[in-house]
Amino acid sequence: MNSSSTPNRILIVGGVAGGASAAARLRRLDEKAEITVLERGPDVSFANCGLPYHIGGEITDRQKLSVQTPDSLRNQLAIDVRAKTEVVSIDREKKTVVTRNVDSGTTEELAYDKLILSPGASPLRPPLPGIDLGGIYTLRNLQDMDRIKDAANSANRVLVIGAGFIGLEMAEQLVQLGKEVQLVELVEQVLPQMDPEMTRAVEQELLDHGVDLILGDGIDGFSSAENQGIRASLKSGRNLEADMVILSIGVRPENRLAQEAGLELGARGHIKANGHMQTSDPDIYAVGDASETMDPILGGPTAIALGGPANRQGRVAADHIVYGDEARPYPGSIGTSIVRVFDVAAGVTGHTEKRLQQMGIDYEKTIVTDYNHASYFPGATHLTLKILWDKSTGRLLGGQANGIEGVDKRLDVLATAIKGQLTIEDLEHLELAYAPPFGAAKDPLNTAGFSANNIRSGRVKPVYELPDPNSQQLIDVRPAEMAQLKPIPGAINIPFPSLRSQSDSLDRSKPVTTVCALGKMSYFAARILAQNGFEVSAHVGGWKVAATPSAPEKTTPMENSSKATPETESPSPEVKTASLDCTGMACPGPILRVRETAATLAPGQELEISASDPGFMNDLPAFCKANGYEFIGADKSKGIVTGRLRKPMDGPADSQPNSGQTPPAKGSTIVVFSGELDRAMASFIIANGAVAMGGKATLFFTFWGLNILRKDKGAQVPDKTLMDKVFGWMLPRGPKKLPLSKMHMAGLGTWMMKDRMASKKLPNLPGLMQEAQRAGVRLVACTMSMEAMGIREEELIDGVELGGVAEFLGAASETNANLFI
């Protein structure tokens, strides 16, 4: 460094991240420089990212938020720090600024050799009706934090407007303070900085913690409420009342000084800066939230309002002031950000899909869900990744993640990969730290690379939205238990292990889309079907990312029990609580394990279950209610649900003795005599309902009803008589050929009815039949009727039993409803 050429007088406007970092770096590089920091507020350097957490009480010591005070900067760095000093104007020709003391109003002119602007960005406060009412707050500095914290002490209902990073942090902290929180966001998702499917886990977490989430609606104005609160009017016409309001709808750069000084501004009002953070005036630098820099991924301008970039930009400006063009330029910002919302973390790095579409970039994408560490190690929880890449080169353009643990680790790797211009092929072979408590042999990042390259190579045709079941065959390859517990609308469930044997039941002339819980099995299923002649696509991401978040049912312990154990029926002290670890298992694994283990409990014994499947919180009460166990309660911490149930003293409802007699019969036995479409559907609907209610169901097919069970294509039966063959030709073959009982109209009426049912997304007969067989409904063909009509066993669909009158009567004795259709 040539100290004689170093500018002697350096003024820095604004402290906090960019300005304070520049001042500290300058002093370390040049002990003799005259460095003056001018800060409009009383605090020159504070941790503004920590403000919500002091409001919520997680950061208890306010002093820890003051990273540096004016006195500490003076003492440590020999810097002239002038707090409560506002810069009024810049004279570029004279190279001076005019300052005004905020308290006294006195002004002063200061000269500079180099000027660094770090004014930051201010929260948006739009000119809405009632915007200046008391009780409406924004959060930027320690003083704002103090005001919000004081107001929250006496508030019960808080309205947060804006569901970006700060809005979500505030909503979380206010809930933890016991407040009733409503969160309003103009667009149809939280975290507009991310893509919609990657924010649903955050939305579900907010709903699970009681936040009233209002999406797709904006604020239109404020007025005073009758109870001395604030009434907020939304654009939809809805009115909300709260004790206090927090505005968190974005920020705008503090550009007045630069604009009045004639510095060049970007399209969004940020101060344009080159790689050395110089503005259009080479003696003036701009750093932090008010500056516009370069997008290192695709080029062009970008502005990132984050503390990390601001710190590094301040350092770059200081280096250039001292070293000139020998200093290393700022490489640009890619906007790596993360937020915690209760137990869920979500973050983004690089470009989102929405941004790439706006830029007209030809890209591809994938979404994968895996465990944050080895699934067999306790505490494994789901982690979802989305990556985007350039379609022609495979270069990574962006990444997003959500989950309970390990989100920051994967985002950091993706950010490094993007900055290093790595490709999706490179992701496949990243060597990452692995031991069961920390990761897996195939990290979720490797899995994302595998999935991306399968798409890019054409080995799988991806779809990202569930198709219309009327236009495609939507095949749910999840286990039957999961499909019953959480059905996918319009999907036919063929569990993956059964897919090869049941693929012939699908229509090869119609496209197929496979879907599963997490996206992996749908890919496996698509590969099977594609190699067996089907036109097939795989849903990327699975039902986990496609499902719409919903508020949990409000239940209380014991409320879902069929019979609560009185205090007098408590188990004896020697009966110990059993425990069951279901972490690392996807639905329906936990419920199946609970069913098995609960059946072994002693009367009055409790079972404590740990599960990492997020749906288990709602699944356990439903299981208890359906099976006669007492639901004691469930809570969630760090993504792990811990639930408890108790076996009643006289056993679950479905196995309880009935005053020493045989348990009451449940379910239905149906004689299906008709071979007409509408009556056949009624039979299967009733049977499926009987099983769903915990009973048994048997369908006994006789005479014309046997046509329902016939295969679409006739089997070759060499020893059939001519009359038997004639009967087979004359009768409808299978459920797709059945007529309506009314308005058949030579097939036209039947076609119209099927079309109407499909358009209204009502079930069809083949789907009802498959559902019945999966649910355990018995299908029995009357052997006497088969003989009379010349129908052989090999002509019937798989899974049909053969029986006679005795079979029917035996089944009827086990049910409480017997029907003839």
How do residues 604-637 score in pLDDT, each as one tens digit?
999 999 988 877 887 888 788 878 899 999 888 8
Does 3.10.105.10 match the CATH number of domain 667-820?
Answer: no
pLDDT of residue 39: 93
pLDDT category, 410, cuts 50, 70, 90?
very high
pLDDT of residue 773: 86
Taking residue 501's Cβ as centre, other Cβ atoms within 10 Å add up to 10
Does 3.50.50.60 match the CATH number of domain 343-457?
Answer: yes
Q: Does the pLDDT of residue 423 top 90, yes or no?
A: yes
For range 756-772, the mean pLDDT:
78
Buried b (16+ CB within 10 A) or exposed e, 167-196: bbbbbbbbbebebbbbbbbbeebbbbbbbb
**Of 496, 494, 499, which is closest to residue 520 (Cα–Cα)?**
496
**Tokens linked to 504:** 């012939």
For range 589-601, the mean pLDDT:
86
Q: Does the pLDDT of residue 89 top 80, yes or no?
A: yes
pLDDT of residue 793: 85
pLDDT category, 2, cuts 50, 70, 90?
very low
- Where in the sequence numbering do the catalytic residues fall? 49
Region of poorest pLDDT, from 102-116, 211-225, 613-627: 613-627
pLDDT category, 705, cuts 50, 70, 90?
confident
pLDDT of residue 73: 83
pLDDT of residue 587: 65
Helix 200-208 vs helix 165-176: crossing angle, to nearest 10: 20
**Tokens linked to 321:** 């002031």
Domain ranges of the chain: 3-121+253-326, 136-249, 343-457, 462-546, 574-655, 667-820
Q: Do domains 3-121+253-326 and 136-249 have the same CATH topology?
A: yes
Q: How far apart are CA 772 and CA 480, in angstroms?
A: 11
Taking residue 143's Cβ as centre, other Cβ atoms within 10 Å add up to 11
Q: How far apart are CA 231 and CA 253, in angstroms?
A: 29
Evaluate whether 541 touches 369 at the Cβ level (below 8 Å). yes
pLDDT of residue 297: 95
Q: What is the DSSP string of 30-47?
A: -TT-EEEEE-SSS-SB--
User: What strand order describes the sheet that includes 630-637?
Assistant: 578-582, 606-611, 640-646, 630-637
pLDDT of residue 52: 96
pLDDT of residue 731: 80
pLDDT category, 537, cuts 50, 70, 90?
very high
136-249 homologous superfamily: FAD/NAD(P)-binding domain (3.50.50.60)
Q: How far apart are CA 388 and CA 350, in angstroms?
A: 9
For 3-121+253-326, CATH gives 3.50.50.60
Average pLDDT along the chain: 89
Evaluate whether 110 touches 11 at the Cβ level (below 8 Å). yes
pLDDT of residue 661: 46
- Is pLDDT larger for residue 764 or for residue 240? 240
Pick the CATH number of 462-546 from 3.40.250.10, 3.90.1150.10, 3.30.70.270, 1.20.120.530: 3.40.250.10
Q: How far apart are CA 142 and CA 105, in angstroms?
A: 22
Q: Does the pLDDT of residue 123 top 80, yes or no?
A: yes
Region of poorest pLDDT, from 658-672, 715-729, 760-774, 794-808: 658-672
- For the whole model, what pTM was predicted? 0.75
Region of poorest pLDDT, from 239-243, 566-570, 583-587, 695-699: 566-570
- Is pLDDT larger for residue 813 or for residue 372? 372
Express as a percent the part of the chain with pLDDT over 90: 62
- Is pLDDT larger for residue 685 or for residue 260? 260
Q: Is 556 exposed, middle or buried (0-12, 13-18, 19+ CB in 10 A)?
A: exposed
What CATH class does 574-655 carry?
Answer: alpha beta
Q: Does the pLDDT of residue 563 top 70, yes or no?
A: no
Half-sphere exposure of residue 432: CA atoms within 13 angstroms, side-chain side? 25
Helix 677-692 vs helix 765-775: crossing angle, to nearest 10: 30
pLDDT category, 655, cuts 50, 70, 90?
very low
pLDDT of residue 567: 42
- How far does CA 141 lie from the centroid of its chain? 31
**CA dist 673 → 704, 764, 796 (Å):** 6, 19, 16
